[in-house]
Amino acid sequence: MRERIDEIDQAIIDLWQERARLSREVGRTRMASGGTRLVLSREREIVERFRSALGADGTQVALMILRAGRGPL
């Protein structure tokens, strides 16, 4: 079972890093065409998705995930 836990942890790390890369790329592309760096309505939807799946901890996880893609505000 511990082996599976280690696999899951690695998958979370890989997905976290892939998501941060994609998020930065989307932000850069949008800014290059004159748009904003952030889209708060989209970020609110994401926070709500995590909150409804995971409760209060989900909110914190979502905020950390979003920060990983754009750096601290």
Q: Which residues, in sequence order, are CB contacts of 61 under 8 Å at separation 6+?
A: 50, 54
Establish if 50 lies at the interface with ligand ISJ (CB under 6 A).
Answer: no
Q: How far is CA 3 from CA 6, 10, 65, in A?
A: 5, 11, 25
Q: According to the binding rule CB under 6 A, does residue 47 interact with ligand ISJ?
A: no
22-41 residues near ligand ISJ, rule: CB under 6 A: 23, 26-27, 38-39
> Binding-site residue total for ligand ISJ (CB under 6 A)?
11
- Could you say whether residue 51 binds ligand ISJ (CB under 6 A)? no
Question: Which backbone phi and psi does 38 adopt, to 5 degrees?
Answer: -120, 155
- At its nearest, how many Å lie between ligand ISJ and the CB of residue 43? 5
